Structure 1
Amino acid sequence: MNGNRIGTGQRERLYASTTATFDGDLDLIAIEYALNGEPVKLTIPEKIHAARILESRGMDLTSIGHRIGSDRSTVAGWKASDWKPGKPVPKPKRPPAECGEARMYRQHLARGEKCDICKAANAAADRRYRLTGSRKEAAA
């Protein structure tokens, strides 16, 4: 059988550079392998450079992330920060516990205090957990 399946023929090869193999800290040969979907380990600056090239060629962020070995949200963050590495967005801190919450009951116990309101909230959360598998209250 001499035929090719549709989509398996020769595809256009992408090049990071035509003459140079290094540009500062960038290994352009490794970037070229990543551009063409070949498995290679890249540093963060190399991933950003490859992602920028692929994005300029019209690829979607999910495909770019798959090719360079990063997550789509990481590539979107690089694009949003003008293709510069940035710090990850910190998770919002949980507000402090207030009296009447199950987690406050555990804090009262640790301090050796008694609070009937928190004890009742903890009992309700335990009942909910046994019935539904979740300690969270149902959304109203």
Structure 2
Amino acid sequence: MNGTRIGAGARERLYASTTDTFDETADLDYIAIEYALNGEPVKLTRAEKIHTARILHSRGLSDKAIGERVGTGASTVRGWRENGWKPGDTHPKTRSRAPRPEPVCGEPRMYRRHLKNGERPCDACRAANAAADRRYRLTGSQKAA
């Protein structure tokens, strides 16, 4: 029997650009993008990944399928789409933390800062460090209850 299975025929090839091969302003390699659009293995920069994802999204592919073609996760593709096809500052699942306040005299952290700076620790810092050390030996934690 001489037949072909469904889907085994020649499939449509996707092209990123028909005239250019490189965009210097956006730092895009259209040949690499074309390979990624057609499911061929290629290394892409972040800008190229976003450009490829935007083209594939306009073709109706799911975030998971787009992520597999460009080499990222579906959540990253969703983040790009929700951010207007621009890279986000952080991954969508990352928490942002407030910076730690600067240590003040009377804390064990300031005792260590005095030592690091080659200074003699003040009495308040020495007492706080000794209290934290006692707590650690008794309870296994330096933090006061």
TM-score by length of structure 1 reads 0.65
| Structure 2, unaligned runs of 5 or more | 98-130, 140-145
- Residue aligning to 1:91: 95
Q: Which moved more, 1:1-10 or 1:47-56?
A: 1-10
The number of residue pairs the alignment matches comes to: 107
Provide the TM-score with structure 2 as the length reference.
0.63
Q: 1:42 to 1:2 in 2, by over 3 A?
A: farther
CA distance in 2, matches of 1:91, 1:21: 39
TM alignment of 1:30-45, pairs within 5 A: 30-45=32-47
- Indicate the percent of aligned positions where both proteins have the same amino acid: 61
Residues 86 and 92 of structure 1: CA distance in aligned 2, closer, same or farther (over 3 Å): closer
1:111 aligned onto 2:128: no
Question: What is the RMSD computed on CA atoms of the aligned residues?
Answer: 3.0
| Higher radius of gyration, 1 or 2 | 2
Q: Whole-Å Cα distance in 1 between the matches of residues 31 and 77 of structure 2? A: 21
Residue 59, structure 1, aligned to residue 61, structure 2? yes
Number of the residue aligned with 1:5: 5
Structure 1 gap ranges (5+): 94-109, 120-140
